[in-house]
């Protein structure tokens, strides 16, 4: 199967001032696109080319894993943010956050601290871990929680390419702004229907 860069659910200027059009043009249009192209080149004509993206992330190693996981992680990230301001956790998601963190504010503090202090490139995640508890974890480079049997619920890309155009070296300001656009409806859908995550994040392919 050929892998495709997913379309964004919003216009390139719709996330301003959180993220500029220039950031999206580079981050989605060049970085993410390059991971997809390298993944296709690496798996074409091979047994790995038969696997779904999630299966690839779980089974591949080395360069194939890096490009597959970066395709997965970025596709996930684009669904985590939305223009027009954040929605609110409700229902089962709110109950799980309150149970495992005490409150949404406590989750935000824990997540922001982890994202800000993660050394080097990587990803900060809210996951439902293999024991069924919500947890904040970070992964270096292309790391992805599905390799640990966890269900990803929310992510923030802390590679410099995610924020350097708009925030330069001030990663905490990028993380602070991130919360203003979190799509909690997507987070809730991941908790409720983990089997539907891949189809949701891959959405509609771009026309390239
Ligand atoms: Fe990125």
- Domain-by-domain residue ranges, the chain? 91-194
Residue 61 has φ and ψ, to the nearest 5°, of -130, 170
Topology of the domain covering 91-194: minor pseudopilin epsh fold (3.55.40)
Q: How far is the CA of 160 from the centre of ligand 1 (A)?
A: 8
Give, for 157, the enclosing helix (H) or strand (E). Answer: strand 151-157
Instruction: Quote the pLDDT of residue 87.
Output: 86
Q: How far is the CA of 164 from the centre of ligand 1 (A)?
A: 11
Instruction: Quote the pLDDT of residue 118.
Output: 97
Q: How far is the CA of 34 from the centre of ligand 1 (A)?
A: 11
Q: How far is the CA of 30 from the centre of ligand 1 (A)?
A: 10
What is the crossing angle of helices 104-117 and 171-178, to 10°? 150
Q: How far is the CA of 24 from the centre of ligand 1 (A)?
A: 10
Q: How far is the CA of 198 from the centre of ligand 1 (A)?
A: 18
Instruction: Quote the pLDDT of residue 208.
Output: 62
Give the mean pLDDT per block of 10 residues along the chain (208 residues).
Answer: 96 96 98 98 96 97 98 98 92 98 98 98 98 98 97 98 98 97 97 97 88
Q: How far is the CA of 102 from the centre of ligand 1 (A)?
A: 30
Q: Alpha-carbon dihedral of residues 4, 9, 11, 17, nearest 10 degrees?
A: -110
Instruction: Quote the pLDDT of residue 201.
Output: 97
Q: How far is the CA of 162 from the centre of ligand 1 (A)?
A: 5
β partners of residue 124: 138, 156
Q: What pTM, to 2 d.p., does this model score?
A: 0.97
Is residue 106 a contact partner of residue 185, using CB atoms and an 8 Å limit? no
Instruction: Quote the pLDDT of residue 85.
Output: 86
Q: How far is the CA of 110 from the centre of ligand 1 (A)?
A: 21
């Amino acid at each position: 199967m050929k892998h495709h860069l997913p379309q964004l659910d919003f216009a390139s200027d719709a996330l301003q001032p959180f993220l500029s059009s220039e950031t999206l043009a580079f981050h989605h249009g060049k970085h993410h696109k390059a991971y997809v192209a390298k993944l296709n080149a690496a798996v074409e004509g091979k047994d790995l080319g038969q696997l779904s993206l999630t299966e690839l992330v779980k089974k591949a190693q080395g360069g194939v894993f890096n490009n597959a996981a970066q395709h997965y992680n970025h596709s996930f990230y684009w669904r985590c943010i939305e223009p027009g301001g954040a929605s609110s956790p409700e229902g089962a998601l709110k109950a799980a956050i309150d149970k495992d963190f005490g409150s949404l504010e406590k989750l935000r503090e824990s997540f922001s601290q982890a994202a800000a202090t993660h050394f080097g490139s990587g990803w900060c995640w809210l996951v439902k871990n293999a024991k069924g508890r919500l947890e904040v974890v970070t992964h270096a480079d292309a790391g992805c929680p599905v390799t640990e049997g966890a269900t990803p619920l929310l992510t923030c890309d802390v590679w410099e390419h995610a924020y350097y155009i708009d925030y330069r070296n001030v990663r905490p300001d990028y993380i602070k702004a991130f919360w203003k656009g979190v799509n909690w409806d997507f987070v809730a859908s991941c908790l409720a229907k983990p089997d539907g995550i891949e189809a949701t994040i891959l959405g509609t392919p771009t026309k390239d």
